Amino acid sequence: MNYIKLKQLFSKPQNVVITTHRSPDGDAIGSSMGLAMCFHKMGHKVDVVVPDAYPKFLGWMDSEGIIIIDESDPDRSSQVLGNASVIFSLDYNNLSRVAAVGDKIEASDAIKVLIDHHLFPDNGFDFSLSDTTASSTAQLIYEFINEMGLIDSIDQQVAESLYAGIMTDTGSFRFSSTSANAHRVVADLIDKGLVPHLIHERIYDSNSFSRLKLIGHALSKKLSLHKSGKAAMIPLSLIEKNQFGYRKGDTEGLVNYGLSIKGVEVAVFLSEELEMVKFSFRSKGNVDVNEIARTQFNGGGHKNAAGGKLDTNLEQALVQLDNALNDLF
Ligand code: 5GP
Ligand code: MN
């Protein structure tokens, strides 16, 4: 399928369902809500389905509470996905990233569209806009909207959501993925009514007292260096998270502190959950953490930012991480 065919399809009202990955982040919610608002304006029925809850600091993008959370509302999610004529997969490359939502997508005979910037995308989609050099999926959504001839449907609210995606996925325009094109897209979003500092405030100046205490604890008590200072890690146990009243999103960005230490090439954040440990990997230069996450931690992502998980406890997870770091350095 190409843009011409897609335009034909969307010349008639469609039942659109937009899905995004587990543990939705700023890019996941920003891309989904941006695209959802554009399609809604064009007269399509639009639902957004996410596997599990998103952090509170992204809630302003869903002020009317339209996002369906599969984990807490599986029947509703099955119903909308069952009735979909077009299903979008945003900001993930593989149906395994969307838990039970993946089975529902697989069971549907809707047209399936992928818009994503992760490495190694699945090829089972009718239309794919996959660009691993793009700063964010939100930037690709802008390009998609433009190619579809819908650029005038980007109003201030859409611009704010897309900006939230680009800003969070580029670490506020500092990661190597921050291209001239990312800045050009943002410039256009500003022309459409976006006020950048207000979005930055909504996302980054909404800390709870307990979140800062948790970060303080992680940095002063849990951060350690390994492999002659080339690797940094922060493991947080379930007990510690509970002790500091952990809420989803509270540890977002924590892994970057490790990477900010001079000489560190890989930083890892380990977050213990019930019978599972979630990993966040970040690296500099040529160290390919996507490869490590994909081959040893059931995950994936990008060369310099990836994630994964092991069904084990924190102690065992640290042993496996140590082995992986030994292979690396
Ligand atoms: P984060 O560490 O912020 O959770 O994720 C970093 C990057 O890795 C993101 O692009 C995210 O989509 C990807 N990622 C995180 N966890 C997983 C995972 O379990 N599997 C895969 N394939 N990618 C992941
Ligand atoms: Mn992304």
Interatomic CA distance for residues 216 and 222, integer angstroms? 10
Looking at the structure, tell me whether residues 23 and 149 fall in a common domain.
yes
- The upper half-sphere exposure of residue 289, i.e. CA atoms within 13 Å in the direction of its Cβ, equals 22
- Name residue 117's amino acid: H
For ligand 1, whether the C-beta of 280 sits within 6 Å is yes
Q: Distance of CA 66 to CAs 34, 37, 46, 163, 213, Å?
A: 13, 11, 9, 20, 32
For ligand 1, whether the C-beta of 300 sits within 6 Å is yes
Q: What is the pLDDT of residue 308?
A: 97
Domain holding 192, by residue range, is 3-204
Report residue 315 as tokens.
Answer: 């102690």
For 166, the enclosing helix (H) or strand (E) is helix 156-169
Picking from 204, 228, 259, the residue at the C-terminal end of a domain is 204
Q: What is the pLDDT of residue 264?
A: 98
Looking at the structure, tell me whether residues 147 and 170 fall in a common domain.
yes
Using CA positions, which residue lies closest to atom 22 of ligand 1?
Answer: 300
- Specify whether the CB–CB gap between 128 and 4 falls below 8 A: no
Rounded to the nearest angstrom, the distance between the alpha carbon of 31 and the centre of ligand 2 is 9
Looking at the structure, tell me whether residues 317 and 187 fall in a common domain.
no
pTM confidence score? 0.91
Looking at the structure, tell me whether residues 199 and 297 fall in a common domain.
no
Picking from 204, 236, 261, the residue at the C-terminal end of a domain is 204
For ligand 1, whether the C-beta of 299 sits within 6 Å is yes
Interatomic CA distance for residues 272 and 278, integer angstroms? 6
Rounded to the nearest angstrom, the distance between the alpha carbon of 92 and the centre of ligand 1 is 9
Using CA positions, which residue lies closest to atom 3 of ligand 1?
Answer: 280
Looking at the structure, tell me whether residues 153 and 15 fall in a common domain.
yes
Interatomic CA distance for residues 1 and 43, integer angstroms? 22
Number of domains in the chain: 2
For ligand 1, whether the C-beta of 308 sits within 6 Å is yes
Q: What is the pLDDT of residue 9?
A: 98
Q: What is the pLDDT of residue 205?
A: 94
For ligand 1, whether the C-beta of 165 sits within 6 Å is no
Looking at the structure, tell me whether residues 87 and 186 fall in a common domain.
yes
Rounded to the nearest angstrom, the distance between the alpha carbon of 41 and the centre of ligand 1 is 31
Q: Which atom of ligand 1 is nearest to the CA of 91?
A: 12
Looking at the structure, tell me whether residues 91 and 228 fall in a common domain.
no
Please give the chain's pLDDT, 329 residues, in tens.
999 999 999 999 999 999 999 999 999 999 999 999 999 999 999 999 999 999 999 999 999 999 999 999 999 999 999 999 999 999 999 999 998 999 999 999 999 999 999 999 999 999 999 999 999 999 999 999 999 999 999 999 999 999 999 999 999 999 889 999 999 999 999 999 999 999 999 999 999 999 999 999 999 999 999 999 999 999 999 999 999 999 988 999 999 999 999 999 999 999 999 999 999 999 998 999 999 999 999 999 999 999 999 999 999 999 999 999 999 99
For ligand 1, whether the C-beta of 307 sits within 6 Å is yes
* E-only strand ranges, 41-98: 45-50, 68-69, 86-90
Interatomic CA distance for residues 237 and 278, integer angstroms? 11
Picking from 174, 204, 234, the residue at the C-terminal end of a domain is 204
DSSP 277: E
Looking at the structure, tell me whether residues 66 and 124 fall in a common domain.
yes
- Specify whether the CB–CB gap between 236 and 251 falls below 8 A: yes
